A and B are shown apart, each in its own frame.
Chain A
Amino acid sequence: MSEVLVSEEQKIILLSSLASDQVVRTAHIVDAMGILLVNSKRLQENAKRLAEEYGLNVISTGLTMFEACAALADISGSK
């Protein structure tokens, strides 16, 4: 999470295989636009409430972290 915190990138989407409160908080702290959960992870109730409170979009995918990164790279054309 610290790696994410120290990045200076703007308009980021946080990819994570963790679905805890802290992932949501971290995303909020760095003003992420949303969270992409890989490995079919879903937010637990409290984390879901937090995401709603912070106005964060959360998407869950069955792809692995590697596949999700590759797919995103494809979309953004930055292969």
Chain B
Amino acid sequence: MKILPEPDGQPGLVFLELIQGLRIRDVMTTGLITACLSDSLCRIRGLMKENRISGVPIVADRRLLGIISLEDIMNALAGHYIEDPAEKHMTRSVVTLDENMPLTMAVDAFEKYPFNRFPVLNESQELSGIISSRDITMRLLTEMNREFRRLEASLGGKPAELEESVRRYPVRKHDFTLAGTASTTIKKILKEKGIEGALIRRVAVAAYEMEMNQTVHSLGGELVFICRKDRVELIARDFGPGIDDPEAAMREGYSTATEWIRSLGFGAGMGLPNIKKVSDEFSLKTGPGGTEIAAVFYLNDNVT
């Protein structure tokens, strides 16, 4: 079974990020099929048929003057004026989009208007592309596919080995109400999996120390909990400011915590040594941009 990581309680976050991260120019079609004012509707009908499109912008010097849609062609055939120039029958008040707009605005436009496509203009008000709802759908599917592959790869294995789950918990600076909630949840999950009590306690202790460390010392970050077939991994990542003297921080009793933190029962300088003590593998990377602490716990006693 494949379980793809999904931030807890935030389904569709990846999808949302995709839409928000894309601009109209990233998605629109730029290989434009256009016609000029004097082109006959009959010629435009030919363009539509050849290129399998349902609308042709009418331009002069890259300026959008109007648009001829499939409906205009059908009306021309019924009204026997198919040889008339485009100028005479084109729709002149065209709703356009700006290529720098976020893709969400295009999605809104499709909801608001009954049109199947919108011409897109650049900063100089020239026609630079055209966007259809199909363009959006196709692009999103491609991006989602890519995103899923990226997530699969980031789990460090071939997709077939993905018998694991990844959960992420946010940690906020000095938020002592939030601190400890991730550890409690992790403890519950492990218990449900039927993991042995002593091991659960070790994982929970490490997770709790990580949460407290981030709450006390960092600008905020996240706790990542990865459950694999043979091991449990905890990764605490924060946004900074980093540990000045990592070697000292690993010594029991060394603490940079303030009196206030100590009054809450923390800051005894046992956090990092504790995490190392209860885990099977421990690593610490730190710099001004942030600290990453990883702890691994073997599920199988034979693995040492």
Contacts and interface: CB of A to CB of B under 8 A. Distances in A.
A48 interface: no
20 contacts: A1-B212, A1-B265, A1-B266, A3-B270, A5-B209, A6-B205, A6-B270, A6-B278, A16-B265, A20-B176, A20-B264, A20-B265, A21-B176, A22-B212, A22-B265, A26-B265, A29-B183, A29-B184, A29-B201, A31-B197
B274 interface: yes
A28 B188 CA distance: 11
B205 A18 contact: no
Interface of B: 176-177, 179-180, 183-184, 187, 197, 201, 204-205, 208-209, 212, 264-266, 268-271, 273-274, 277-278
Contact of A31 (B201, B208, B265, B271): B201
A2 B183 contact: no
A21 B187 CA distance: 17
B176 A22 contact: yes
A2 B273 CA distance: 10
Nearest to A1: B265
Contacts of A31: 197, 201
Interface in A1-22: 1-3, 5-6, 16, 18, 20-22
A51 interface: no
A76 interface: no
Pairs of residues from A and B, 6 with the lowest C-beta to C-beta distance, nearest first: A2-B270, A25-B180, A1-B265, A6-B274, A29-B204, A5-B205
Given A2-B209, A6-B270, A29-B208, A18 B184 contact: no
Contacts of B265: 1, 16, 18, 20, 22-23, 26
A2 B271 contact: yes
A18 B264 contact: yes
Interface residue SS majority, chain A: helix
A49 to B, nearest CB: 12
A43 B268 CA distance: 23
Given A2-B266, A5-B209, A6-B205, A29 B176 contact: no
Contacts of A54: 184
B253 to A, nearest CB: 10
Contacts of A2: 209, 266, 268-271, 274
B209 A46 contact: no
A58 interface: no
A53 to B, nearest CB: 9
A7 B231 CA distance: 23
Contacts of B209: 2, 5
Contacts of A68: none
Nearest to B268: A2
